[in-house]
A and B are shown apart, each in its own frame.
Chain A
């Protein structure tokens, strides 16, 4: 992958420090040249064009930008792109296979776990990080695992149900 910058003239170009990084996103290997200050959320959204990862608060509070880095849920609005050098990133676009939805995605639809949908990708990624290491969570486990993700529409009750729905389906499939 290449990131194309506007040509700002030789002098300006030489002022912009660039680092080359290699990483994997949703199973695909990528190389990128990035400014060291570039945020991971911007690399994902603007560099790669995966707009399912949303920016909400820029202060690591709302969780709309949650992605997995090496399987752990992190907030990409306050991680630098250069920090994923050599690592594996999964975004909401990596949840479903070409033909079927991930049970977490199905759960959110079945249990009306979303309204405006803006927080949903981050919620689902946080839920994935939980279910990957705790396949049989209690309601309290789910509430705690999602406590870094804010939703203004649903009141969370149906989000919790969605995650429990997915956990049950995943256990049945396992």
Chain B
């Protein structure tokens, strides 16, 4: 390297905490969210939803709605059916009603749509639609669904004789049975990971604009995966794919909620085609909470075979997942219960067996990966709650038990008990950093002293491994489409560039960080690189942003396309310097002659030459596209430690401290990484403490608005102490990065719950289901019993 190499931090390259470029529009109120899109002649759509969770539709009379001035169209299931659009495929090879025809299957299901001049008129008209329902018994949990006399929810499906969606298994059953036969101690745990709603502040919506003159359909919509939507619209609506343009403008948070295809999108598209005018649909909060992609709602039970000295010999797990009325999980098709089998990836567990069952119930379709890589949150939660229970049963220290069973640093690559191949990890080091930060020994002393005075202090540890970056095309596909991603880089003659990817950020800061990868690879200052995403007419095909796959897959594609550009620039440099390519060296921002380092050309000079002075026979221009199919997932890991104080009289618990030690490999932009971790920790805190969306015995959704579904504000949210001392670069990612967006939300909940359970040591309480509400803690303390969060069943 010569002294002329650029300073990477100064040009906003890898490791720079570059201020975000997208902020400039957001802080001025100049973002462009779907509801901000206004088109000439635009009409407004509202949805009429079912008040009942399970009922046969006897008749729908929309005549009074049609009579209201300003109403242009009323859509019902019957009308949709004439165009073969009453049902649509889900992302998991099931079907979902667009507008109900035969039955409604959950409270809030879409029954009719009104399109009018104004949303107020459309809402009025929805109220004028008369629907005659014949109520059917609702099913609110898996046990009811399994009863022999349970009504079949999906009687629309010819081959469906019961309410079972799937039975799936993975692991070694015989080997696991042998491990349990040899165990000194068997530790058991049963729990419910409750339904949770990702609940971005911005609800879902779309503006569909079909132009009869050009036959082009443009849809602005809140989607995390615009290319998938384009393909789905082409197939479902039978429109030519090149005539469909999906634009995902600024998105007000996604967290998995904006991956599925919702009936509102489909209806707004059909309405625009029928009316030949733009149609806007913007969901209200209740609509969002009761009808769009829920997460979790899974019953986990398992046991761990242990040797007396603390060695884990094997694990057995069974899950019953409540999928709601339609199996619409957005997850790789080969894995019926997502990546649940990532459980126990951090530990050296010789053998394990998992059975999973999915069930239909009268609830909104669930199973979206809420800030989570396809059910890994449930897996990690069970893992860390089970590990705590096992250590307690053995009378071992929580930290010591973990340390003893961690996969050792030298044992990578490591095959997890359910078959993943992890490539790296420094779990013990992460734990040590966390324990030192929290002052583990001191806290244990303080805890013992406090207990003598009747104060309940608790400490919870959670270790997390997240399989991120779906994925390699051998194993990962959605509806058969392989989960690669892409980047397209155009370097203009003045050395400025525009980059587009197949991902679609929703706050992760892609516009800032992708430019940093280009700066790192090419030495073009990040400020000279504009990043665009979300327009299927301009962006290369990609699978979108969810499951923390952007940096592992699209981010890798950005590095790879930059390298393609650099390879061509090298040829241009050789031409400009009049030497052979082999005699050229690269340093950040510049090629030079090896034997004469003072002679060189900048990347910008090469760019100009690509348009003005290319060698004979070279294709002009400096533009390229890369599609990246990762060789494996990336494996970020973390240790989270929480301390709490529980008030024994009220059950209220306060977080004293929260320490997070995350290893996500190379950090492209440390400021943004820390922002992601803090956001994830807050959702972990929210899920464990207050986010409560459930159903009563009659199938009514409880938590259908923000007055009932509590999200933590600045007042409740604890402060966080973040640590970045442990860095294990991903061995196969081009810049050594791993995903990070979800890690804290995945690993965090168990730390909070473990801390509360730890505070109750001596009461015999093994489990309190999330959210760990004060009344549940009070019940556990007062009656010395576990507290379940499963929805109640009618006894009459």
In the assembled complex, the Cα of A149 lies from the Cα of B29 at a distance in Å of: 16
The answer to whether A8 and B285 have CB atoms under 8 Å apart is no
* Chain B CB within 10 Å, residue with most, of A59, A95, A152: A152
The answer to whether B252 and A150 have CB atoms under 8 Å apart is no
Report B711-739 CB contacts with A as 1/0, cut-off 8 Å. 10111010110000000000000000000
Query: Given that A12-B70, A147-B715 are contacting pairs, would A115 and B29 also be in contact in the complex, using a CB cutoff of 8 Å?
Result: no
In the assembled complex, the Cα of A56 lies from the Cα of B288 at a distance in Å of: 10
The answer to whether B250 and A156 have CB atoms under 8 Å apart is no
In the assembled complex, the Cα of A96 lies from the Cα of B23 at a distance in Å of: 14
In the assembled complex, the Cα of A117 lies from the Cα of B254 at a distance in Å of: 12
The answer to whether A91 and B29 have CB atoms under 8 Å apart is yes
Name A54's contact: one of B19, B33, B507, B679 (CB within 8 Å).
B33
Name B507's contact: one of A37, A53, A58, A116 (CB within 8 Å).
A116
A110 contacts the other chain (CB 8 A): yes
A35 contacts the other chain (CB 8 A): yes
Q: Which of B107-115, B197-205, B413-421, B754-762 contacts A (4 or more CB under 8 A)?
A: B197-205
The answer to whether B27 and A105 have CB atoms under 8 Å apart is yes
The answer to whether B70 and A144 have CB atoms under 8 Å apart is no
Residues of A within 8 A of B623 (CB): none
The answer to whether A150 and B706 have CB atoms under 8 Å apart is yes
A120 contacts the other chain (CB 8 A): yes
Q: Chain B: interface secondary structure? A: loop
In the assembled complex, the Cα of A37 lies from the Cα of B671 at a distance in Å of: 44
- How many B residues touch the partner, as a band? 35 or more
Query: Given that A91-B29, A155-B717 are contacting pairs, would A118 and B707 also be in contact in the complex, using a CB cutoff of 8 Å?
Result: no
Name A8's contact: one of B69, B717, B719 (CB within 8 Å).
B69
Query: Given that A57-B705, A62-B706 are contacting pairs, would A117 and B23 also be in contact in the complex, using a CB cutoff of 8 Å?
Result: yes
A64 contacts the other chain (CB 8 A): yes
Residues of B within 8 A of A37 (CB): 120
Q: Return A157 CB to nearest CB of chain B, in Å.
A: 5
Residues of A within 8 A of B267 (CB): none
* Chain B CB within 10 Å, residue with most, of A11, A95, A112, A121: A112
The answer to whether B19 and A152 have CB atoms under 8 Å apart is no
Per the 8 Å Cβ criterion, residues 97-127 of A in contact with B are 101, 105, 108-110, 112, 114-121, 124
Per the 8 Å Cβ criterion, residues 49-88 of A in contact with B are 49-59, 61-62, 64
* Chain B CB within 10 Å, residue with most, of A110, A112, A117, A118: A117
Per the 8 Å Cβ criterion, residues 1-32 of A in contact with B are 5-6, 8-9, 11-12
The answer to whether B26 and A6 have CB atoms under 8 Å apart is no
Name A152's contact: one of B27, B29, B199 (CB within 8 Å).
B199
B645 contacts the other chain (CB 8 A): no
Residues of B within 8 A of A110 (CB): 19
The answer to whether B678 and A59 have CB atoms under 8 Å apart is no
Per the 8 Å Cβ criterion, residues 188-219 of B in contact with A are 199-203
The answer to whether A114 and B720 have CB atoms under 8 Å apart is no
Query: Given that A52-B30, A114-B26, A157-B719 are contacting pairs, would A109 and B506 also be in contact in the complex, using a CB cutoff of 8 Å?
Result: no
Q: Return B41 CB to nearest CB of chain A, in Å.
A: 10
Query: Given that A51-B36, A144-B715, A150-B711 are contacting pairs, would A117 and B22 also be in contact in the complex, using a CB cutoff of 8 Å?
Result: yes
Residues of B within 8 A of A58 (CB): 284-285
In the assembled complex, the Cα of A91 lies from the Cα of B29 at a distance in Å of: 9
In the assembled complex, the Cα of A90 lies from the Cα of B120 at a distance in Å of: 25
Q: Return A28 CB to nearest CB of chain B, in Å.
A: 16
Query: Given that A51-B36, A157-B678 are contacting pairs, would A57 and B706 also be in contact in the complex, using a CB cutoff of 8 Å?
Result: yes
Query: Given that A93-B29, A109-B19, A114-B27 are contacting pairs, would A152 and B713 also be in contact in the complex, using a CB cutoff of 8 Å?
Result: no
Report A124-167 CB contacts with B as 1/0, cut-off 8 Å. 10000000000000000011101111111111111110000000
A92 contacts the other chain (CB 8 A): yes
The answer to whether A121 and B29 have CB atoms under 8 Å apart is yes
Residues of B within 8 A of A52 (CB): 28-31
B327 contacts the other chain (CB 8 A): no
The answer to whether A157 and B720 have CB atoms under 8 Å apart is yes
Residues of A within 8 A of B398 (CB): none
Report B12-24 CB contacts with A as 1/0, cut-off 8 Å. 0000000110111
In the assembled complex, the Cα of A61 lies from the Cα of B284 at a distance in Å of: 13
Task: Across the A-B interface, give the 8 residue pairs with the lowest CB-CB distance, nearest first.
Answer: A52-B29, A118-B252, A117-B26, A116-B507, A115-B507, A61-B706, A92-B29, A155-B678
**Which residues of A come within 8 Å of B, CB atoms?**
5-6, 8-9, 11-12, 35, 37-38, 45, 49-59, 61-62, 64, 91-93, 95-96, 101, 105, 108-110, 112, 114-121, 124, 142-144, 146-160
Q: A96-B28, A150-B713 are in contact. List 9 more A-B contacts (CB 8 A).
A: A54-B201, A56-B202, A59-B706, A64-B201, A112-B19, A115-B509, A116-B251, A118-B201, A149-B714
